[in-house]
Each structure stands twice: as structure tokens, then as C-alpha cells.
Amino acid sequence: MRVAVLHIEIHIPYAQSLKDKRMVLRRIKDRLQKFNVAVAELEHQDLWQRAGLGIVAISNTTLHVEQELAGAAEEIERLEPGLTTRSEVEYLT
């Protein structure tokens, strides 16, 4: 069994309130439903223009986990280009 977490930090320069930020995050979470992943906001809940997302995938092969997380990262970049400031994959054993 392979479990991996993709940590993504997002900067939303045009957000003027937490409501603006939540709209962007909701759009991202809705679009990631087509992937076999779970998404949660893990950091910066009280900041308007920053968000830290954790995206988790689990599978029986490392290749499948990597494909799901890569697809999720590409979808975020396609949906909200230029907002991702940092991304890191962590494998849990």
C-alpha cells in the first residue's frame, strides 16, 4: 500500500477577504473530485491571500499515486495559473 501527500501552497493576490479565498479553494476542490484524492486546507486558514492544501492519494502502486497527485497539481495550475508558490510530495509508509 502506498500513501502520498502533496503539499501545495497557494498565493491568491486578488483575494480581498476570506470569502474570496474560499471561493477559489472551493473551485479547486470541486475540480479535484474527478481524481481519486482527498483535499483539505491545512495551513493559513485565517489569511486572505495564502492557503496551504494537503492532497492525499492512496493506492497499491507508487506509479498510480504519483499519477493521481501529478494530475491534481496540473489541474490546479490549469484552473488557477501562477498561484502555486510551493509544492512537495511526501510518501508515508
pLDDT digits (tens, 9 = 90+) for 47-59: 999 999 999 999 9
Reported pTM: 0.89
Q: How many Å is the Cα radius of gyration of the chain? A: 13
pLDDT at 5: 97
Angle between helices 62-79 and 18-31 (to 10 degrees): 130
pLDDT digits (tens, 9 = 90+) for 62-90: 999 999 999 999 999 999 898 899 999 99
Domains in the chain: boundaries: 2-92
pLDDT digits (tens, 9 = 90+) for 16-44: 999 999 999 999 999 999 998 999 999 99
pLDDT band at residue 93 using 50, 70 and 90 as cut-offs: confident
CATH (one of 3.30.70.1120, 3.20.20.70, 3.40.190.10, 3.40.50.360) for 2-92: 3.30.70.1120
Q: CB-based contacts of 67: which residues, under 8 Å, 6+ apart? A: none
* CA–CA separation, 61 and 65 (whole Å): 7
* CA–CA separation, 20 and 49 (whole Å): 9
